[in-house]
Amino acid sequence: GMGIRRDIRVLGHRAVVSLLGDRRARAPWGLAGGEPGKPGEDLLILDDRETRLPSKGTVEVPAEGVISIRTPGGGGYGPP
């Protein structure tokens, strides 16, 4: 299956964001010959620069910063 991307822009003042994600280091596996999914990632975007964030933790985001949460896609089933 397909993952989901959520971009959250901080307006006006800084924000403190807590992240608790999973499947960031290893991709979801496929079954019966299916391909693996894509691992997720969490990014801080400032001035068009992307910085990878840990999947679990707290980060301070300045005003106009963007937190991009990209959930993993599920693995496939059966040969492609």
Collect all residues with Cβ–Cβ distance below 8 Å to 48 and sequence separation of at least 6: none
pTM of the model: 0.82
Per-residue pLDDT of the chain (80 residues; tens, 9 = 90+): 789 999 999 999 999 999 998 888 888 889 999 999 889 999 999 999 999 999 999 999 999 999 999 999 889 999 98
pLDDT at 46: 97
Collect all residues with Cβ–Cβ distance below 8 Å to 49 and sequence separation of at least 6.
none
Q: Where do we find the tokens 């079954």?
A: 31
pLDDT of 74 reads: 87
Burial class (CB in 10 A: 0-12, 13-18, 19+), 26: exposed
| pLDDT at res. 23 | 80
